[in-house]
Amino acid sequence: MKTLIRRLFDATVVVALCYAAAATAQPYPNKSILIKVAYPPGFGVDASVRPSAPVLERALGQTLVIDNMPGANGSIAAMNVLKASPDGYTLLATAGPDLLVAPLTVASAKYRFDSFKLIGSFGISDMVLVSHPDRPFNNLTALLEQMQKRGAKELSIAHWGQGTLAHLAAAEFQQRVGVKLLEVPYKGIAPMATAVAGGEVDLAFVPLAGPILGMVQTGRIKAIAFASAKRHPLMPDVATLSEHARFKNFEFGIWTGLFAPARTADAVVARLSKAFQQWNDSPEFLALATAQGFRKLDSMTPQQAAAFLRVENEKFVNIAKTLNLAAQ
């Protein structure tokens, strides 16, 4: 009897191991994929990620679950993703420049740029300097005159955290003008844009994408100038900062990326990259880019994405160092 029981037990173990091996052998992905979005819902990164879900789900054959985890220049979500198993089932969606600069400006951001592999970019948006519509300046020249008036009230400028692209642009703007503004941090683009529309702050650099475009077009906020090399095709009457002698080469654009932990297997990254290229080349993506006013970046292989990330890291780290930003 003991021999029979032992044989039955051994057989059960073998069957269980076979089932486990079969489950492990299933090709990626074989369950839902969680995407941690490093900002609040509704604007910016979130507005770029959510429309991609149906196309990516079709390409991957699995459900995408989007979880917003804002704070600390996107580093809370980044650190959370790094703590998860690097199996391709927990990914990060964030603003590329913020991800790269956070380790220099946020003490709790304990990672390097190469702690992640870039899967692809959801597009790039030009930054635009905006204000509340009731403010007494409608263009850059009038704003500069207002800022430099003797006895003029100190203006405020919003950003979504120390070291974010909005903060870098605001810091360089003040440096070029030679005037100090009251800096007001918010937890993301959405509350920051709402604050400008509500008159809580005077100015902000925001990416012209998602609901921001609609807010400008409906007059909830007004565009002062673009931080880009060329005028925006959707707003050709709004000048660029670079057109002013004081702001030559004043260019800030924010791109959004989908990332996996660096230890993720190459085969999984390749599978994600292939699916992402389907989104990037889809009619849905083109329609979204046209409607929201952002620009497409070409699809990239994993090797091209790694090279792109290295170049971007060097560029934004140099900007942060030039402005003497320190970790807080």
E strand or H helix that includes residue 275: helix 266-280
CA distances from 65 to 32, 33, 164, 203, 317 (A): 7, 6, 26, 34, 32
| Contact between 127 and 169 (Cβ < 8 Å) | yes
What CATH number is given to the structural domain containing 31?
3.40.190.150
Burial label for 231, CB within 10 Å (0-12, 13-18, 19+), is middle
**Residue 259 belongs to domain spanning:** 11-19+21-124+254-322
* pLDDT at residue 131 in the model: 97
Distance between CA atoms of residues 120 and 52, nearest Å: 12
Q: At 205, is the secondary structure helix, strand, or coil?
A: strand
Q: What does residue 265 show for φ and ψ, rounded to 5 degrees?
A: -60, 145
Residues 139, 92 share a domain: no
Residues 259, 237 share a domain: no
| Contact between 84 and 261 (Cβ < 8 Å) | yes
The total number of structural domains that make up the chain: 2
Any domain includes 328:
no
> From the first residue on, what is the mean pLDDT of each consecutive set of 10 residues in the chain (328 residues)?
51 46 70 96 87 96 96 93 98 95 90 97 95 94 90 90 89 92 90 95 91 92 95 93 94 95 98 97 93 88 96 88 74
Out of 247, 270, 295, pick the residue that ends a domain.
247
* pLDDT at residue 86 in the model: 97
Any domain includes 5:
no
* pLDDT at residue 79 in the model: 97
Residues 236, 160 share a domain: yes
Out of 247, 269, 300, pick the residue that ends a domain.
247
Residues 133, 212 share a domain: yes
The count of other CB atoms within 10 Å of the CB of residue 5 is 9
Any domain includes 159:
yes
* pLDDT at residue 318 in the model: 86
Q: What does residue 255 show for φ and ψ, rounded to 5 degrees?
A: -110, 145
What CATH number is given to the structural domain containing 193?
3.40.190.10
Q: At 4, is the secondary structure helix, strand, or coil?
A: helix
**Six-digit token pair at 21?**
């091996």
Residues 215, 130 share a domain: yes
Residues 183, 228 share a domain: yes
Bridge partners of 120, per DSSP, are 258
* pLDDT at residue 210 in the model: 74
Residues 148, 238 share a domain: yes
Residues 109, 25 share a domain: yes
Distance between CA atoms of residues 23 and 87, nearest Å: 14
